[in-house]
């Protein structure tokens, strides 16, 4: 009977044909001395170069360690990470980028931190080797906003190098572009979170798939995260707060009728619609409280976007 897997290293890759072999070698060099059973799960996110063929070769030569998930087309980093998390068999799951900017030598430090009782350990690229205006400055602003809005003060939410317990990461609902919000989303499961400083290297091959143009997605996802975190703790209060503007607009329309000689039908209808909207939001809050009390709150059951079976296959 094969020994249980202690560690899974999940690596999403997209058009990284020059990087995958050196990264595989560095992960082996970092994990072999640990004397634990581990696996490397590469997720090919629909690469158009020779990335998958190279990964397939690595799997054939090192089938005991290397596993490969392949998407039929590019679905994005979050979907790739989710597929990797689902395929992972280890008790501890470490995620990292496939462009050689994260350093596998930090993996032992993550494992030591996890032994202190943490469920999620985040990497902090304190000395980040990226361009200031296009990468570092937007990242600083986004991390500050994420910390303020979610209440989880992580220095570097965008760092893919993180470690998780399997039972926590498999329960975190992830979809769209929400991989950068894993620490905040993991609080829905009651996870204990820590942070350690990690190495960061300049990109050696290819070009970055990210830039300042993606900032707007971060801000849109922030609103969703705030709603999910707020809803998970006090749904009635959250939806009641959303109903306040509708109530005020409804009263405004109703009061305006008193000062207009011939108000017509528009203002009364608008007033009624705003009040109905407010009543609907309040009812949603009450329903949310009832769902929360019965222990069936949706984030713990929500399916992440895509699965291995739907989007590709597993080697």
Confidence of residue 226 (pLDDT cuts 50, 70, 90): low
Mean pLDDT over the full length of the chain: 82
Residue 59 has pLDDT above 60, yes or no: yes
DSSP code of 288?
H
Handedness of CA 283, 287, 292, 296 (dihedral sign): negative
Percent of the chain scored above 70 by pLDDT? Answer: 77
pLDDT tens per residue across span 23-55 = 999 999 999 999 999 999 999 999 999 999 999
Mean pLDDT (whole number) for 111-121: 95
Q: Which residues contact 156 (CB under 8 A, 6 or more apart)?
A: 122, 123, 124, 125, 126, 128, 139, 143, 195
pLDDT tens per residue across span 134-148 = 566 666 777 777 777
Residue 232 half-sphere exposure toward CB, CA atoms < 13 A: 21
Mean pLDDT (whole number) for 60-72: 94
Confidence of residue 206 (pLDDT cuts 50, 70, 90): low
pLDDT tens per residue across span 172-196 = 877 766 777 888 778 777 789 999 9
Q: Which pLDDT does position 28 carry in this prediction?
A: 97
Q: Which residues contact 288 (CB under 8 A, 6 or more apart)?
A: 231, 235, 236, 238, 239
Q: Which pLDDT does position 299 carry in this prediction?
A: 40
Residue 249 has pLDDT above 50, yes or no: yes
Residue 217 has pLDDT above 80, yes or no: no
Confidence of residue 303 (pLDDT cuts 50, 70, 90): very low
Residue 300 has pLDDT above 70, yes or no: no
Confidence of residue 298 (pLDDT cuts 50, 70, 90): very low
Residue 294 has pLDDT above 70, yes or no: no
Residue 311 has pLDDT above 70, yes or no: no
CB 85 within 8 A of CB 93: yes
Q: Which pLDDT does position 307 carry in this prediction?
A: 39
CB 155 within 8 A of CB 81: no
Mean pLDDT (whole number) for 55-77: 94
Residue 229 neighbours by CB distance under 10 Å:
20
């Amino acid at each position: 009977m094969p020994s249980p897997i202690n560690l899974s290293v999940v690596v999403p890759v997209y058009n990284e044909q020059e990087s995958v072999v050196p990264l595989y070698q560095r992960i082996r060099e970092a994990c072999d001395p640990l004397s634990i059973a581990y696996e490397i799960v590469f997720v090919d996110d629909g690469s158009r170069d020779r990335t998958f063929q190279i990964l397939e070769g690595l799997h054939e030569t090192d089938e005991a360690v290397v596993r490969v998930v392949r998407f039929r087309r590019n679905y994005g980093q979050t979907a790739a990470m989710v597929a990797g998390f689902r395929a992972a068999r280890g008790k501890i799951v470490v995620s990292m980028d496939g462009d050689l900017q994260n350093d596998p030598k930090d993996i032992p430090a993550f494992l030591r931190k996890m032994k202190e009782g943490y469920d999620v350990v985040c990497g902090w690229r304190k000395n980040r080797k990226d361009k200031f205006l296009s990468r570092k400055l937007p990242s600083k602003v986004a991390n500050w906003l994420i910390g303020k809005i979610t209440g989880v003060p992580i220095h570097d939410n965008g760092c893919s190098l993180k470690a998780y317990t399997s039972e926590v990461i498999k329960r975190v609902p992830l979809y769209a572009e929400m991989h950068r919000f894993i620490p905040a989303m993991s609080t829905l499961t009651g996870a204990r979170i820590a942070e350690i400083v990690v190495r960061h290297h300049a990109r050696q091959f290819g070009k970055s798939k990210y830039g300042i143009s993606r900032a707007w997605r971060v801000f849109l996802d922030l609103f969703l995260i705030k709603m999910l975190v707020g809803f998970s703790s006090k749904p009635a209060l959250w939806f009641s707060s959303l109903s306040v503007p509708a109530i005020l607009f409804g009263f405004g329309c109703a009061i305006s009728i008193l000062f207009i000689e011939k108000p017509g039908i528009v203002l009364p209808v608008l007033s009624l619609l705003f009040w109905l909207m407010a009543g609907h939001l309040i009812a949603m809050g009450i329903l949310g409280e009832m769902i929360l009390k019965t222990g069936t709150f949706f984030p713990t059951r929500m399916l992440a976007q895509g699965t291995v079976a739907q989007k590709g296959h597993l080697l």
